[in-house]
A and B are shown apart, each in its own frame.
Chain A
């Protein structure tokens, strides 16, 4: 039992290091944007000697870089990410207002991917080599190769404009209305993930079904359901890996999909902020995504421990 505690600690420490390194990159966005730092931070306000001096003082630009970084990072940890250049508002509350919608779309899309991808993958593996298997695999390739924003446009054309089944834009009010509004974006986001999950689930299950223990389970008279249960349970580790990948890529893909569906989420905030060179907001969103992706990876690692007892007890393979 101590082995898996150590395993998680090591992963956690590694993740903290990665987040620290990335935070340095995010911090230096201020210096990497084109034009002088003062200009970037002043935005559309006139650049005069007076405003320039004010900005230098406000952002402590005369301090050594390391001090600046530590101050920025310390503030970030305490929940202060500065003020938006574009609106002058508090960055944390701006991001906080947009976050629930993005989270909802991401989770909805991820859930659709799992609910569609895993059962289809199981079905394909059980019927491998038959017509159904080939159809599912072909469908998954199509799903995998469609870029979410293009798929979003297609879905909008067909289901919102032509058939008028779903709204064209907006996020809706209340749970059911939101669900209705967010379905098309979630489908656009989840389809690629579903395709990936079909492939992972299918290949992993096909491998398990060929194992000796499956034949032995049949030979000692276990029911088909029990035998499939053995194999599905044991094919889980690669599927978990895929699910983690899908969740992170869905998070990133929301940026464009939110723009397509005109959803006021983090993605559209990011696009607006980049357009206006609103560096503090871009930094905040980048930092948030970094932490979220790191957290998802830790969760995936932890779920390995549940899925595979050999890791839990440090047993030999």
Chain B
């Protein structure tokens, strides 16, 4: 059997100002027809660089070395040699369905752009071909007339798959194809890719940070770290018996629904404690929107309790958090916080607002955009301490850094000099400056690598035990919520569909939607992809 792709000794270097930095080295990889291989690693491991080298699409300033043979043609990462093969023999599906399509071109013409010009110039043949391609990915023919922004994320990624396959390549490389999608959508898209791959007998390379997805989709797995392959082999072997310490750590760090959890002291039931936050029938309808983003949601958070709010995008979970913290004004309902009842933050008197402001703080999803890039970490922390009338000299800012496990020397640095996990620690330190009684984390670990995610979760757990603050943890990730919360609210379409102790909700879900969410969470066992989906409702 001839290999569709043979990569030997692939390396990538960056030259700048006469200095050469090696970003990737000694990657060997072979994919045959119908075979699927996963490249697994955290950010900076070089998995995307590997894919880009194969297609000759490295960013400017980066050079590939080593041997690359695509379907019998030696290309060696040379863009000129790779160009005629792109789309024709090898296609790349990119990560973010929200940005990979031309936003201003209808789906039909966009697919047709890659068709041979003879088909493209014949309107009847063109629309028939577009319809056939859309049908292959399970989309209706009318999608052809729509713009990408009129489609959901899952539909866009289906269009992405169709677009990548227009010229019938023999090898498909998918770079984190479902990372930006909800769990239920992720499962649908992964199943689609697997079905299409089997139908066409294509070779398939899946790039992912998620070992569970890799195990369930691929026969072979390569684990990358810092630009090197640390372990490779058949899925069964690596899953049963990872040789490398790093692979084991990755497997351990991955939050899962099956793994037993270590007991932790904060896990007592907090029903006896007084309520710190209570929302009553909180609703929010955005102007110009037909349905409410938040529809009569009532939640309670007791002092010192960790409460999860889980849902997919559009479920209203973030709107809920933003209403509670005062970033949105609810259209109906009321909020009771720290003994004060009010309709919205806007209706509070200035004095009350200042008093309550410090009692609830928020940590946002994206640590790259939530810190002022021009200020040093120390200045950011001093500023916030000063704003809350706390001592704000250098030692005070440094104490905050120590509190979140960062060296005090980081006070001098700018956010750009920190990694994503370190920035998120700073964001947490900033939230802690006011000594809040309630910390709201809006997808605070979603943008982080699994090993970093585990560390941040550990930090939050520690802070909660030490400082006795309550936690409102908003996330789409059921496995994460299991690790950190006592109680859980499940949201769908702006309503709360189920609530209860986290353990109970996750093991004995009562609502059909919760069951559906649970089934969609990736597991190492490939059967999660195959299981029939529970009908919604």
Contacts from A to B (Cβ < 8 Å): 129, 211-213, 215-222, 226, 230, 233-234, 307-310, 313-317
Contacts and interface: CB of A to CB of B under 8 A. Distances in A.
A221 B96 CA distance: 19
Given A219-B87, A219-B91, A219-B164, A317 B104 contact: no
A310 B147 CA distance: 8
Given A313-B147, A315-B149, A221 B114 contact: yes
B147 A213 contact: no
A219 B113 contact: no
B154 to A, nearest CB: 16
B370 interface: no
Contacts of A314: 288
Interface string B160-177: 100110110000000000
Contacts of A233: 104-105
Contacts of B150: 313, 315
Contacts of A222: 87, 113-114
A219 B104 contact: no
A217 B105 CA distance: 12
Contacts of B86: 218-221
18 contacts: A212-B94, A215-B57, A216-B94, A219-B55, A219-B86, A219-B91, A220-B167, A221-B87, A221-B91, A221-B167, A230-B102, A233-B104, A233-B105, A234-B103, A234-B104, A308-B104, A310-B149, A314-B288
Interface in B437-472: none
Contacts, number: 74
Which of B55, B87, B166 has the most CB atoms of chain A within a 10 A radius of its CB? B87
B497 to A, nearest CB: 25
Given A218-B57, A220-B91, A233-B104, A212 B96 contact: yes
A282 B149 CA distance: 49
Nearest to A307: B104
B101 interface: yes
A218 B103 CA distance: 16
B166 to A, nearest CB: 7
Interface residues on B, range: 20 to 34
B92 interface: yes
Contacts of A313: 147, 150
Given A222-B113, A310-B149, A216 B105 contact: no
A219 B147 contact: no
A317 B94 contact: no
- Most chain A CB within 10 A, of B92, B101, B104, B160, is at B104
Interface in B91-121: 91-92, 94, 96, 99-105, 113-114
A212 B57 CA distance: 12
Contacts of B288: 314
B88 interface: yes
B102 A219 contact: no
Contacts of A212: 94, 96, 99-100
B92 A221 contact: no
Contacts of A220: 86-87, 91-92, 114, 163-164, 166-167
B166 A234 contact: no
Contacts of A317: 149
A282 B28 CA distance: 79
Contacts of A219: 55, 57, 86-87, 91-92, 94, 164
Given A221-B167, A222-B114, A216 B147 contact: no
Contacts of A216: 92, 94, 100-101, 160, 163-164
B102 A217 contact: yes
Contacts of A215: 57, 94
